[in-house]
Amino acid sequence: MGASLQRLFSTFANGWPGVGLLIQRLVLGIALLCHAIALLGRVPAGGPIVPGLIGSVLGLFILAGLWTPAVGSLVAAVQVWIVLTGAGDDSVAIILAALGATLAMIGPGAWSVDARLFGRKYITG
């Protein structure tokens, strides 16, 4: 996955764009965790608990910036699932899906685990 992730992003944004991506990741990760907790608190017995559980795990990955393209795509898919099943608030799920999709397309930024694992290495000599 490392080489393919490096091919997706020639560089990991730093400076102000990197700060913007960090803020977007923090907002999305915290919102996913809060949304999942709220979803799990409202689920009736035998109701759809899986989307909330998946959302909370994905929120942790987004917060860390780990495997961001894949996780962002999964966030979008899970939020669409939540909208289609009526398991949660549609407007919140649509916003979270859009944020997940944009992170999947743009990347995690320089302040992420992805950048540390898969970013370009500079050799000083």
DSSP labels, the chain: -HHHHHHH-SS---HHHHHHHHHHHHHHHHHHHHHHHHHHHHPPTTS--HHHHHHHHHHHHHHHT-SHHHHHHHHHHHHHHHHHHT-S-HHHHHHHHHHHHHHHHH---SSSHHHHHHSPP----
Name the more confident of 122 and 70.
Answer: 70
Residue 32 lies in a domain: yes
Instruction: Quote the number of domains for the chain.
Output: 1
Domain extent at residue 91: 2-118
Mean pLDDT over residues 17-42, rounded?
89
The pTM assigned to this predicted structure is: 0.81
Residue 123 lies in a domain: no
Summarised one tens digit per residue, pLDDT across range 54-97 is 989 999 999 999 999 999 999 999 999 888 887 777 899 999 99
Residue 125 lies in a domain: no
Residue 124 lies in a domain: no
Residue 58 lies in a domain: yes
Residue 66 lies in a domain: yes
Mean pLDDT over residues 20-34, rounded?
94
In the predicted model, what is the mean pLDDT of the chain?
84
